[in-house]
Structure formats: structure tokens, C-alpha cells
Structure 1
Amino acid sequence: MAGRDLRSLFSTNDRGLKAGEAFTNRQMQWELVAAALSEHLRHTTDAAFDVEDLEAPRDNVLAFHGVGGIGKTTLSRKLETALASADRPAQWGEPTWAGERILPVRIDLSRSAGTDFEQLVLTIRAALSTLGRPLPAFDVALRRYWEARHPGESLEEYLRRGGLVGRFGKALPQQMQSAMADVTQALLLPGSIGTAVGQVTGSLVRALRERRQTVRALARCARLADLLEAEPDLDSLSFYPHLLAWELAQLPADKRVTPVILLDTFEDVGDRTHRDLERLIQRVVWLMPNAFFVVTGRSRLQWADPALQGQLDYTGPIAWPGLAAPASAVPAARTARGRGRGRQVLVGDFSPEDCDDYLARRLSRDGHPLISSEIRQVITGRSHGLPLYLDLSVLRFLEIRRTREPVPADFDHDFGALIARTLSDLTPDERHVLRSVSLLDAFDLTLATAASGLPHQAPVQRLLERPFVRENVFGLWPYHLHGLIRSTIRSADDATDDRWTDGDWRQAAERALAALGTQWTAAGTTGQGRMLLVGCLRQGLTLARDFGLDLGWLADAAWAYVSDSVWEPIAPPALPGHTDGLQTSADALVELLAALARRQHEHRSVTASRLAAVTGSGLLPADLHEMGVYYLAKAHRDLGDSAASRHGMQLVADGGGRLAPAARRGLAHLARLAGDFPTAYDTARTLGWTGRQHRVEGDILWPHGDMHRAATAYAAARDQAEQHGVAGERATSQAHRALVMAFTAPDTADDEIHLAEQFLTGLDLRATTLTLKIAVLARDAGTLPGLETARVLRAESRDAGITAAEAVLDVVLAFHHAVLGEHDKVRTAVDRLRDLARSGDYAYYADIAHFMAGQPLPQPSIARWLEPEDTVRRRWETLVAERRHHLGIRLP
């Protein structure tokens, strides 16, 4: 526990409530501080280290940055406590600088603290007063400055008003007086100290210039005389820390101390335009190379940026090698052990476990958490790991508890205060960009600029440097907003002066949608363009649905999406509170594409139901309505409802639209399933590439046992798909080729199966995946050790509602049993096939099973074969005989 949570304590009359300011483990940040400080100590104790070297690179600063409310101030306070004593979390471990004296000095730079530069310097000196000795070089310069800038004002009273006496005691004024007395005595000056400040410093400068023996100790400070001669103004004061650093370097080894100066809320020092205070503070850091600085703020330090030359004194990657390294999250930075690495660290969100632990310890009674586990779970899920959200939720808990017992639903809540914290230090243009990109899951510089509608990129570029903008270098678009910041800006009541109206949000959505369309059309639909298509569709569908926008380019993108039969997940998350079904064309298109993608993971009956709702809504334009009708017909065919499938396919074929060739292919498949092979074959020969002619021919030829011609047809279909860049069709054709080759050439089928597996990588084609698994069974027919794999495949086929896959599976099992001469098991397979053929489709599969077993048909076949039935029978009998010969099986 780091203290008492006074806000919570003063929010309730319950005196039995314990409100503790919980500190959740930041072990990795501590490890970074410990490693960097250890390296700093090794550097400063090296014989080659020179505190007066003003040109050597500096690596005495470690910067933690992160979004407002992430816990930077709490971390800074905890680091101060841990460095000052052994009071640190057990999991932080022991420091490695045993024997070294560390003096932590935390300085709050927030506007509310009112810390100015003069107070910052005095705070550092007051902290060093605990050494119990004057620091004459600095103290004489400071006394001169004080008399000039604060005539007649007591330094002791100033320190008391600033709270420094309470923190560090009253020793500083006495030490300064002692330093002045020592110098006066060394110079043999008469008069009181109070009236001789000017005379003392003047005489001291002359003595230093003349290198008098009486001031030989101070004479070793090469720049003291120059500082005493300079005008005692604020700019000169900013160089006095050099004297502090020099004095620290003169301490004997047993008195040596390393100040660790923690500068918190650094974002309040200034902005990118006004860097006056930042320049003075940076000068302190540079001039005190033997002190170690831990800076916490919202933004990373830019001191290593050469573009700041002129605004700051010391800039560039040579001056600050550690700050020039890319900003990293803690896990990456933990590995940094050399100088100049890992000194810009992004403070990450709490893990879910840390969030729960934090909430459990914040409010308690009799040692038990006051906030129930169910409520803690909801708050944790909503928080995205942001400690400020946890704090606000605790206060909300206490507020609700005044009138009733809180329930989990009370915390499905956004806090407007998060917006104020996020927007507080942004320019108007940056706030405009932030709201615009909150509409997007991810973005890049170009997309964000177009979505914001600004004529220039500078505000976007500045926003990208903020810690609430996260970067994923491997993403299609590299940037995204912190999840909680995004959701809050989108949904919470915004009481800021420049808040947006509903019309502003809609205009921003229209700009974002148009920008996505521009990016997609510029990229094409192959290679990287396919990834961009899916990404643009996901984001564009969300915008169109949430704001009721016209489809525009989304219609063409939808066609491009279905053309390749890859079926990546496409549906955006459900809109909260949107439970009234399909209301707009965007709603209908979202549901259409979601149903098509999900059909790879749902029973076809679910797909059919969803597509029926879409086509029945009348919300889609004619061409997209046709898409729904076509895929509904395909779902009916998979379910064995050939009549409904034939009706839908005929409607699409007669319409002459984009899917008319595919619908004619569907009619050919339906004719084949009914056993009308001549009609199916005649139709197939008219389809061409658009109707996937070669694959349909292969589907007709292999039931005839004509495996060589079928394999050739599938290879032609595969090669055509490759030429046209249609990955889904290529994988499907190769899987079917693997299946027919598995019947005829088990030794070479491995290569075909392996190639199909490669083609399926990254694709989501459930029926094709089942076909390939069945091909593996066909390859192993006659040697299967058991039928567990077949049972699993049967269950998968039924779960998917794909009747064709189950039928082909039973044909392969009949083949296996026929090879082994297990006629009773062949009859079992026949029975299952007849069950599947009750609708009239797939009846010829039972005939094929009889052919393989050399058994007569119990009744005449209803199939119309392309060739005499005896020819088909002979081919299947030959396949069985060849497999027996291959395996060396001899039946009695």
C-alpha cells in the first residue's frame, strides 16, 4: 500500500470501509530503473569519468511515457519510496548497488503543483542539504543570485512556503551561510556576511583569476569564476547545477552520493512550440552527468531529434544516444543493458490479473474486498488495463452504493473524464484528428489525414507520437488508438467546448469511408490488394452500418471479396443496442457477407436461414440481392433440398448477372446429383472459365471411374485458377484432383495431397478441407488401422450440413471394405448411402459401392450414365483389383 486513498475515504460515511491507495506491480519498470541506474553508477565511478566534460554524450536519463491515467505518477512515487528505503514490493527484488548511497528527489512539474524552475533548482539543493555540509561553489553563486533576484526576502521563509523545509529540514540556509563565512574568511574580508555578498563574490572572482593559494579548492572548478561574473538571472541559474555536479564529485568516497531526480508530469513543462522551461530543465540534466534522472510524462522525450537544434541547447542522437532508440514497451526494453539503449519506455496497461488485484485491494472491509468478483470482472473488461478507469469505477461504486447495492450492469459505463484527460494537452487540430480516427480500427498517416479532412498532415503526424496511439509495424495499417480511449471518445458524453454534433460525426464517417475506398481501388484485388480489400471492407462496413451510409464502393468490394472464395472473417462487431434486425442496405450487406464467411463454421441450415432473411429484406440493390439468392441456393443444395436449390439457381441464371455462369454451373451440379449425367455434361461444356467448366467435368467423370480424365480436368481447372489468381478455386480443384489420384495411385497421391494442403494454407474452405481429409482415407484404403478418423469426418460433415462430403466419405469406406473383401461392411456403407439418397440425389453412389464389391444392383439404377453401365462397373472393379494387387492382398 502506498498510502490512503483520500478521495474514496471522503466519498462515503462508512467508517468501517478501508480505502487504500493500491499499487499494482510494475516489476518490469523497476527492473529497467535498476539496470539503468546500475549502469550509471558503473559509468560515474570509472576513473575516466569527468564531471566537467561538457561534450561527452549523456545517458543519465530514463523516460517513461504513456497515456493519461496509466499510472506514471504512482510509479514515480513508488520509485522514490523504493530508492529511499527498503520499502518496496517483494517481487521487485534487491537492487544491485549495495554500498552506494542513493538520494531520490521527486519533483512534481504539474501545473497544479506550481513548480517553477527556481523552485526545481532549490529542491535539488535542499535535498542535498541532507549531506550535512555546505557546497560552497554552488552556495556562493546561489546566494548572489538570491540577493539580486529576491532583495530583502528571506530564503528560509521562501523554502518554508514552498514546503521544502518540511521535506528536507532547515539546514540549507545555515549551510549557505557557512559557505559564505568560509569564503569570507579565506579572502580575509571584513564586515558582516549580510552586507558583503557583492564584495565577497567580486573578491572571490579576482582570487580565482589570480589563482590565489587561499582559494585553491574552489579554483579547481574551472567555470566558477565565469558563472559568478555572469548576470545573476534565471538563465544563469540554469547553469549553476554544473556547480552542484562539481561539488558532488569532490565528496570523499565514504560520503559519495548519487542523486536520482524524478521529474513527474513532464507534459506540463510546455509544448512543441513553447520550450523555454524545457530548455532550462534539459540544461540541468546535461550539466549534472553524475545525477540520474527518471522522467515520467505523456509523451516521449524529443531531445535526440536534431530538428530541435536552436530550441534546446543539446540535441541529436549523438548527444542523447539512449533517447534516440525507438520507444519500446517494457518487455523489449528489459533486454537493453548497454549504454545508449532502451531509455524511452512506454508504460503499458495493467494485465487483467493486475486490474482485479488493484480493485480487490482498493476498497475492503474486515480484510475482504468490498467490490465483488463479478463487478471486478466487468470493470476489468471495460478498462482495457487503464488504471484511471479503475479509479473512476471505484468512485462510481461508492456513489451508487449510497442508495443501493451496485450490480455488474452498473459498470458497463464510459467516463467523460477520460476524454478531458486525453484532450487536455492537444491542439484543436489534433483533437479533430483524434475524433476522426476514433472511427477507424487502424490507420496510417494518409488514411488519418483523409478521414480528418484537413489539408495538411502535420497534426496527424504529431498525434501519431502520442502514447495513446499504438503502433503495430506488422499491421496492414500500423496505428490504432488505445482501446479505452477510442471507445470513450466514441460513446461517452463529451462536455468539451469543441465537442462534435451528430452531423459532425456523420461527416467524419463519410470522409473515412471515402478514404478507405480510395485506398482499396488504388491497390487492386491481388496480393497485398487482397489484404487491403478485406481490411477496407471490415472498416468500411462498420462505418456504413453504424452511420447508415450509402454502400458506394462497398458493393464492388463485396463482389471482389466473394470472387476468390477465400472467406476471411469480415463481419464487424455487433453495434451496441442494435437489436432491431436489418434496417439499412449496409445492415443487409454486413449480414450477407458475414453469413457467407461463417458458413465455413456453421451448419448449412443456419447459413440458409440467415441468407433467407437477407434476401427477404429487400434492402440490397439488385446485383447484391442476386448474390444472396445464389448462395442461398448453394446452401439448399448442400442440405439436400435440390428443388429449392434448382429454383434459386434458375432465377440467377435467367437474370444474366455476374453470377449467371456460376448459377449454370449449379444447375449442372444438380443434374449430376440427380444422376442425369448427359444433361450435366452438356451444360458443363458451355460454362467456360467463369463457370469453372473443367472442375465440373471432373466432378462428372470420377463417378464413372474415369479417374485419369477426371484428374486431367481438375489439373486444368487448377491451372486456370492459378492464371486468374483465384486462390480458393485453385485449392478446391487441387483437393479434388488429390481425391481421384488417391483412388488410382496411392504412392504418388502424397504429392497431390501435400500440394493441396499448401494451397489451403491461409484459406477458410470447409468443404474443400473435408474433401482433402477424405482423400487421405482413399489413399490409405485397404490399410486403415481403424475407422475412428472416418467417424470424426462423418461428424464434421454432419455438423457442417454438407451432405455431399458425407456421401463421398461412404464411397471411400465402401472402397476400403471392398479391397479387403468385407462384403457385410460394404452393405453397411450402401445402407448409409441409400439413406442419404432418400431425396433422390446421390443415388448413384450406392450403385458405385455395388460395382466395387462386384455385387449386382438390387434394382435397376436410376442414373443416366455417359457410357454403358457395364463400362462404369468394370472401371470400379478394376480400381479395387489394382489396390489389392498394390497391397499384395489375396482373397480366398
Structure 2
Amino acid sequence: MAGRDLRALFSTNDRSLEASEAFTNRQLQWELVAAALTRHLQRTAAAAFDVEDLEAPRDNVLVFHGVGGIGKTTLSRKLEATLAGAEQRPVQWGEPTWAEERILPVRIDLARSAGTDFEQLVLTIRAALAAVGRPLPAFDLALRRYWEQQHPGDSLEEYLRRGGLAGRFGKAMPQQMQSALADVAQALLLPGTLGSAVGQITGSLVGALRERRQTVRALAGCRRLADLLEAEPDLDALSFYPHLLAWELARLPADRRVTPVILLDTFEDVGDRTHRDLERLIQRVVWLMPNAFFVVTGRSRLQWAEPALQGQLDYTGPAAWPGLAAGSLPHARSGSGTGERTGGRQVLIGDFSPEDCDDYLARRLARNGRPLIRDEIRQVISGRSHGLPLYLDLSVMRFLEIRRAGREPASADFDHDFPALIARTLSDLTREERHVLRSVSLLDAFDLSLATAAAGLPHQAPALRLIERPFVRENPVGLWPFHLHGLIRSTVRGADDQTDDRWSPRDWQQAAERSHAALGEQWRAGTGRDRALLVGCLRQGLGLARDFRLNLGWLTDAAWDYVGDSVWEPVAPPARQDRAAVETPADALAELLSALSRRQHEHRARTADRLTGVIDTRLLPAELHEMAVYYLAKAERDLGRSDASLRGMQHVADHGGRLAAAARRGLAHLARLAGDFPAARDAARTLGWEGRHHRVQGDIWWPHGEMGRAAAAYEAARREAEQHGVAGERATSQAQRAFVLAFTHPEHADDEIDLARHLVTGLSLRQTSHTIEMAALARDAGTDRDIEDRARILREQISISGVAIAGAVLELALCFHHAVRDDHAGADAGIARLRDLTRGGDYAYYADIAQFMLGRPAGRASAVRWLDGEQRTRGRWRALVTARQAHLRAGQ
């Protein structure tokens, strides 16, 4: 229960000040669950309880919330084990009061990594309820109808097995569903097999319910069953089916009665506080199952009791969720723990989320019920706190101290590190542990080896002891498993350290040099092509080199490895607040790599500007300067600035460095876009693997309508990329192969497109993703599969990147669609767009190709030099159109 904050009250003469605090602990969390569940059982057992009452307030949910890594998932799992059997319960938690009641815990992990969608959530609840040992016909019939409508040809039984639900809960659920369908069919005197009778059963049952026939009296008591069976069986309808589960549970005989306790873990991954689509569906489940008890664990409190959410969620406001209302929101004081006001159902664990930091500060000091700390000050404190309750406490005391000094606190007063945090953090550490702590504060994350090397110690024992401290967080699946609590880290690095063994600036410099060298050693010692290690070392190494003005050293070779794979993950460290300009080689390299990775998400003009800025600094060594020049030339080519691109590519090719072969490929591309195909072919023959010769050849063949030869070249390019382990090139080559085969073999293109999508997953290759979507358009050309709408969306996406060629290829694919449909007006409009896109001269022959598709000559004097003449090229493109028309006629 909330108490008085005596420190705050004794820090001011203002008797109108309202100050409060709260206390929490782990044992109390179990006591809260036990008490809430006991009240829930009493309420559902009362004679007045009606499971079909959709207007009564809901008090069937308990929320534990707090920052990541504080133990919410561990608590959820411990609750599941405890509720499943008394032998799993910690001794100190005490005996529950529902020994005679049957409790069925069902834990569902909503983390994105778990891949739980709404369908799986509903199926998990139903699969768990198979433990009651009997069918649940109202729900089972609705679910079977939904499944057959939404997943035709996909067996529900196989889905349960594939998703692990059959292994987790057994195979009783499909058998119970089959039994329920059989019983209903028999009651309705319907013939036929169950598989073919579901639709007939549904229609007949609805009629029987509407007519109140005695044959279905067992289901007639469910007043809303007919409405649900008549509704379109989509995802929205599925979210109302839990009402049928609740009704079925309520009518179970006493010897089979069960109370589900559904534990929804990692609720923060349901969405954010702007996008609530999935949250709305889950909230319906909670509301429509008032006889089930829900324990939610997530990073933030549920806002369901906020009236402002009306319209975003179905059931909102304090009248609907009295236990979730702000008046019963718990408050926490310094330290880790959990507290709750009487009747409250939102329990804060450990550190605070940003929203809860603000709520805490707003409620901690008040006058006449209004927050004493202004909104803008609360924002600064919340941002600096990293959710640590102690920092909030210290900030509250600082607020009162400033007022005591006779002035009104301002936001700038709280851009502040508290030395008290260091004193409390270091107070019980040994000298060596303090040394390791300061060293790892330079790192975003670390392991034992990295921590020991950064500290310059000959043994790991101090680091081993340090990682056991509560301010060191662990992520077992991380590249480096350990990291400091964000606030502790920033305070150790930034606060005025008055301890006896505080570091001098030279000490910090030497620690940065050790840490930088240790990262380089880890990267060089990595086995194979460990992309995650490369990116992690680059990100941390760049930050250290930039902040402490270190030489690039191993970062140069690491940068080349990063570029070589063409994956383009974000790699630049966070920007420094105290230095916006590019002043050092590390600044320049960070900006270079950031520009290269962001070019997949920014307009090419922005990329060109950033690369030009890097080049103009002249801070990079010669080989990295060449990298910037080459990628600037690529950006210029994408923007249609062929002359500037040609100068850059020629410069890089002439210098014979690491990118000389790639620059020669760029020259071949420039010849191709100008329509000089013989020159492009001759250049391609000299490129070799480093110049991606096979892909360049494919790029030359497909404009000639030689789709088979182009597909073979792209396949060779993909295989060569696989041999060299270059994921980006592999995905790009496969996307191009899918694109060309979509023109000639639409029936086989699905597999090629699926493979391309698989290969591009996890890579930041926006242009390659666009190519895949254009392949899907070419595959569907001539059909009525929303070609125009899909193309419109893709056109908008391409315009964001500023890549001229992508827009032209899209229009060419659309012209193919119009030609197949003999839509000359649509084709002429597409040709006009092509001429507009290529008015600078590059890719001007695309408009010629569009004319060829319609069986027309180019219609103007063209500068393009086809490999075997215009007539044969025109014939091949026209043949592609007539072949597609014949294919579509044959399929009718």
C-alpha cells in the first residue's frame, strides 16, 4: 500500500505538497496473484455470475510490468509451474486457498521471436482446454468453419503438429472437434462425411437455432451462436469466438469444471501505443472470457482503463476495467520491487518504462492533485533515467533542493549525472572490479574475454564477479551477452567521479585503446564469415575511435569486409552530441558506412550529398577514399547523372585498387544504359567474378528478349555468389532470374520468386526487393490480379529511393501487361511515362521495347546498338506477348 514519502515531506516547508511512495518485493507478486485468483474464483462461483453478460465490468486480469530483463518472463514461467502443481511452488510463497478448485495454466509467449499470431493464441487456448476431456461443440464448429475458409487445403491437425501445439497439449483437440461435428451432424440428421459437411452443418444449425428446434436444444442456450455462425469467418470474427469457449466452460459438469489461467508474456511485442490492431483482438478475448483469469507481463502497464482510447479498443475506461484504472496504479520507490494500492491490478516490477517514469514523476510530487513537476522537466528526467527508480528518486530530491534554494527548477537542471549513483554502484566493489566496471563502460556490450582485455588484466576473476552484479544485464542470445544498465554506464563515464581511485583522462584514453585493440582481435579471430561479429566490432570500434580520436587500424580492413557482402546493416555508432562536424578519420569512416547502409532507405540524392561531403573532407586514407568515390559514382548513375558517374568509375578503374573490377562493371553498365550493347558485352567478358561478369551478361541479354540466356547467366551469378559467400549478390542475382523467368514461364516463376524472397530476408536491399515485386507483376501480366493497384504502390515506393532504372523497369513490366491484354491505350500511356523517365538518354530503348511488345517498330530513329539487330529483338519481345496470350487462353 502506498505510504508517505518522508524524505520529500521533510525537504520543504510547503505543507500543501503531496508526496507518496510504495514498496514491492517478489514474494508479494505471488501473494497478489493468489489473492486476485481467489477473488476471481469466488466471483465466478456466485449465483449472479453470468458468462454471457457483456456489459458487466471486468476484473479478470492482473498485470506485471517493468523494463526488459527485470524478470517478467521468469515470473510468468514460475507462475505457470506453480499453478500447474504445488510441488513447483517456492516454499516461501505459501499455500494457495483454492486447493479444491481445478486450475489450468496456459502460458503464451507473445514475443516477435516466438512468432505467435492471433490465430495461434486462440488455438493455444483451445488446445489447452482439451484437458477437460470433452468436446466444446459451439466453439469447435465455429473454429472448423473459420479454418476451412481461411486455410483451404491446410489440415488443422497438421498445423497443430507443425506449430508444436499437439506436442505440448496432446492430440485430443482434433478428436474432440471431430466428435463435436459428428454429434451436431447426427442431431441434424445430415448425411455425408464430416469434411464435406461443415458448411452444410453450419447452415442447418443456424436454421435450427433460429427455429428453436428441440434437436439442438443443447446449443440453443448460447444466445449468440447463430450470429457468430452467420458472420463472415474472418480474423475479426475469430476474435469473438472466445465467447463460445467461455459459454462452453460455464456449462461443464461439476466434475470437469476448470478455471483457465492464461499468462500472456512479452505483451510489449503485441504492438506499440499507436498501432493497436492485435491488442484490440487480444482484449476481446479477455473481455469475452470473464470466467478465465489473465496474467499479463510486459514492459508497460495496460492502458485499457483510459477513456481516451475509445475507438482504438472496444472496451475502455475505468468503468470497464476498474482494477486497471489510474487510481489503483502502483507506485515504486528506489530499489527493485513491486507494490500495489488496495484493489489495483497493475503491478510494476523493477525498472520503469518511459511512460511509467512520467507517471511516477507526475504522481510522486503533487499539489491539489496536480503534478508539481512540469511535463517538460519530467521528459528530461525520464530520458536520462533509463528507467532506474533510484535516478527518479534523486531527481525528485534535486527538484526540491532547487526550490529550496529559492528558484523555480528548469529542464536544463536535470540534464545531470548524479555522483551518488557511482558511490552506490562502487561502494561494495573491489578495486579490480571497479577497474573492470570503468573499462566496460566504454563498450555497448561485452563478454568475459573482452571485459578482461579492455581492463588490461591478466585474469578473468574480477570480470566474473562483476557480471553477477544486478547492474550488469545479460542477453544470452546476444553477440556479447553482457551490458551495463544504461544509466549506470552513462553515469560512470560522465559524472564527476570523486572516488579515491578515480581515473585521469589518460587512464580513460588507455582503456579506449585497449578496448579498441581487443575488438580488433576478436574480429580477426572470428571463424568463417561471421557477419554479426563484423558488424558488432565495427559499430563499437568506430565509436571508440571517434570518441577518443584513435587511428583506424583494423577498422579499414573491417570496412572492406562489410562492403564486400552487400548486406548493409546499420553500422554507424550513435551520433555524438558534443561534435556534429566530421573532424577525424573515424568520423569520416562512420559517415561513409552510414551513408552506404542508409542508401537502401534514403533518396539517392541524399546519399550522393553525404558521400560528396565525406570525399571533400580528405580525411580518409587513399583506399577508403576510393570506396567513397566508387559508391558516389553508383549513386550518380542511379540518379541518371551518367557523365558524373562515368568520371568516377573511370577514376576508380584507372587506379587499380580493390574496387577496380567493380568500377569496370560500372563502365559496362553505363554502356548498357546508353544502348551500346556491343561495348557492354565486350566489357563484360573481361570482368571475372570480382566484376560480377555473369550478372552483367544477364543484364545485357534480357533487354534483347533473350530470357533463357539471361536466366542462365543469373543462375550462374547466384551460384558463384554462393561459392564466395556473398549474400547480397546471391539475392540480387536470384531476384533478376525470377524477373526474367516471369516473362516466359509464369507457371514456374512462383518458385523462383519464393527463393528470391527467402534469400533477401534479413538483408537491407530495397532495390532487390522491388525487383522481386516487379517479377510478381510480370508473372501475373494479362490477368486481373490487381496489377494496376500493385504497380501504383510500387511506383510510390520506388520514387522514395530515386533510382531511375527501377521506375523504368516497372513501367516496362506494366507495358507487357497491357500488350498481353491488347490494351493499346494503357500501353501508350506506359510508353509516355517511359519516355519521360528516360528523356535524359539513359535506358531510352525501354520505350522501343514497349513498342516491340505491341508488334510495332520503334517509331523513331534510335541510337541503340542491338547485338543482332532491331528486327530480331522486336520479334522476340512480340513472341513473349503472344506466348503469354496463348498461355492464358489455354488456362481458361
Q: TM-score range by the shorter chain?
A: 0.5 to 0.7
What's the CA shift for 1:390? 0.5
Task: Output the amino acid matched with 1:394.
Answer: V
What's the CA shift for 1:724? 0.6
Does the aligned pair in 2 maintain the 1:646–1:667 contact within 8 Å? yes
Counterpart Cα distance in 2 of 1:330 and 1:853: 74
Does the aligned pair in 2 maintain the 1:884–1:890 contact within 8 Å? no
Match of 2:483?
A: 480
Match of 2:609?
A: 609
Match of 2:628?
A: 628
Match of 1:567?
A: 568
Does the aligned pair in 1 maintain the 2:16–2:367 contact within 8 Å? yes
What do residues 384-425 of structure 1 show as CA deviations (whole Å, max 9, x unaligned)?
221110111111212333443333333222111100000000
What's the CA shift for 1:700? 0.5
What's the CA shift for 1:759? 0.6
Task: Output the amino acid matched with 2:478.
Answer: G
What do residues 148-205 of structure 1 show as CA deviations (whole Å, max 9, x unaligned)?
xxxxxxxxxxxxxxxxxxxxxxxxxxxxxxxxxxxxxxxxxxxxxxxxxxxxxxxxxx
* Secondary structure in 2 matching 1:806: helix
What's the CA shift for 1:9? 2.6
Task: Give identity over the alignment, percent.
Answer: 67
Task: Output the amino acid matched with 1:493.
Answer: D
Comparing 784-793 and 755-764, the one that deviates more:
784-793
* Secondary structure in 2 matching 1:21: strand
Match of 1:409?
A: 412
Counterpart Cα distance in 1 of 2:376 and 2:771: 45
Task: Output the amino acid matched with 1:653.
Answer: A
Match of 1:669?
A: 669
Match of 1:654?
A: 654
Match of 2:532?
A: 531
Task: Output the amino acid matched with 1:725.
Answer: G
* Secondary structure in 1 matching 2:647: helix
Residue 545 of structure 2 is aligned to residue 544 of structure 1: yes
Task: Output the amino acid matched with 2:670.
Answer: L
What's the CA shift for 1:889? 8.2
TM-score scaled by length of structure 1: 0.64
What's the CA shift for 1:27? 8.0
What's the CA shift for 1:862? 1.2
What's the CA shift for 1:330? 9.7
What's the CA shift for 1:571? 1.1
Does the aligned pair in 1 maintain the 2:857–2:874 contact within 8 Å? no
Match of 1:372?
A: 374
What's the CA shift for 1:383? 1.1
Match of 1:400 among 397, 402, 406: 402
For residues 247-646 of structure 1, the aligned pairs below 5 Å read 348-401=350-403, 402-524=405-527, 526=529, 529-579=530-580, 581-646=581-646
Counterpart Cα distance in 2 of 1:785 and 1:720: 35
* Secondary structure in 2 matching 1:504: helix
* Secondary structure in 1 matching 2:838: helix
Q: How many residues align?
A: 593
Does the aligned pair in 2 maintain the 1:605–1:639 contact within 8 Å? yes
Match of 2:815?
A: 814
* Secondary structure in 2 matching 1:620: coil
Counterpart Cα distance in 1 of 2:848 and 2:466: 70
Match of 2:863?
A: 862
Counterpart Cα distance in 1 of 2:583 and 2:687: 37
Counterpart Cα distance in 2 of 1:444 and 1:676: 55
Match of 1:746?
A: 746
Counterpart Cα distance in 2 of 1:414 and 1:650: 53
Match of 1:112?
A: none
Match of 1:30?
A: 28
What's the CA shift for 1:350? 2.2
Counterpart Cα distance in 1 of 2:553 and 2:696: 35
Comparing 654-663 and 407-416, the one that deviates more:
407-416
What do residues 552-609 of structure 1 show as CA deviations (whole Å, max 9, x unaligned)?
0000000000000000110111112222x11000000000000000111101111100
Counterpart Cα distance in 1 of 2:838 and 2:26: 65
Does the aligned pair in 2 maintain the 1:702–1:710 contact within 8 Å? yes
* Secondary structure in 2 matching 1:839: coil
Counterpart Cα distance in 1 of 2:838 and 2:476: 54
Task: Output the amino acid matched with 1:673.
Answer: L
Task: Output the amino acid matched with 1:576.
Answer: Q
What do residues 419-449 of structure 1 show as CA deviations (whole Å, max 9, x unaligned)?
0000000000000000000111111111100
What's the CA shift for 1:28? 6.3
Distance 1:29 1:703, change over 3 A: farther
Does the aligned pair in 1 maintain the 2:782–2:821 contact within 8 Å? yes
Counterpart Cα distance in 2 of 1:589 and 1:446: 27
Counterpart Cα distance in 1 of 2:25 and 2:463: 34
What's the CA shift for 1:347? 6.6
Distance 1:760 1:472, change over 3 A: same
Does the aligned pair in 1 maintain the 2:818–2:824 contact within 8 Å? yes
Counterpart Cα distance in 1 of 2:98 and 2:856: 90
Residue 798 of structure 2 is aligned to residue 801 of structure 1: no
Counterpart Cα distance in 2 of 1:755 and 1:582: 42
Task: Output the amino acid matched with 2:28.
Answer: W
Match of 1:852?
A: 853
Counterpart Cα distance in 2 of 1:570 and 1:686: 33
What's the CA shift for 1:4? 3.2
Distance 1:583 1:888, change over 3 A: same
Unaligned runs of 5+ in 2: 37-65, 72-92, 100-335, 339-347
Task: Output the amino acid matched with 1:363.
Answer: L
Does the aligned pair in 1 maintain the 2:25–2:337 contact within 8 Å? no
Distance 1:347 1:796, change over 3 A: closer
Match of 2:221?
A: none
Distance 1:434 1:890, change over 3 A: closer
What's the CA shift for 1:33? 5.7
What's the CA shift for 1:735? 0.2
Does the aligned pair in 2 maintain the 1:525–1:533 contact within 8 Å? no
Match of 1:790?
A: 791
* Secondary structure in 2 matching 1:433: helix
What's the CA shift for 1:747? 0.2
Does the aligned pair in 2 maintain the 1:34–1:95 contact within 8 Å? no
Counterpart Cα distance in 2 of 1:404 and 1:881: 83
Counterpart Cα distance in 2 of 1:511 and 1:444: 15
What do residues 337-359 of structure 1 show as CA deviations (whole Å, max 9, x unaligned)?
xxxxxxxxx97312334322321
* Secondary structure in 2 matching 1:888: helix
Does the aligned pair in 1 maintain the 2:3–2:22 contact within 8 Å? no
Counterpart Cα distance in 2 of 1:541 and 1:23: 43
For residues 86-97 of structure 1, the aligned pairs below 5 Å read 96=96
For residues 146-295 of structure 1, the aligned pairs below 5 Å read none
What's the CA shift for 1:23? 1.6
Task: Output the amino acid matched with 1:31.
Answer: Q
Counterpart Cα distance in 1 of 2:780 and 2:438: 60
Counterpart Cα distance in 2 of 1:33 and 1:461: 34
Does the aligned pair in 2 maintain the 1:677–1:866 contact within 8 Å? yes
What's the CA shift for 1:375? 2.0
Does the aligned pair in 2 maintain the 1:22–1:358 contact within 8 Å? no
What's the CA shift for 1:376? 1.8
Counterpart Cα distance in 2 of 1:37 and 1:399: 41
What's the CA shift for 1:362? 1.8
Counterpart Cα distance in 2 of 1:689 and 1:98: 71
Counterpart Cα distance in 1 of 2:545 and 2:747: 53
What's the CA shift for 1:516? 0.6
Counterpart Cα distance in 2 of 1:548 and 1:9: 48
What's the CA shift for 1:378? 2.3
What's the CA shift for 1:784? 3.6
Counterpart Cα distance in 2 of 1:782 and 1:416: 71
* Secondary structure in 2 matching 1:577: coil
Match of 1:731?
A: 731
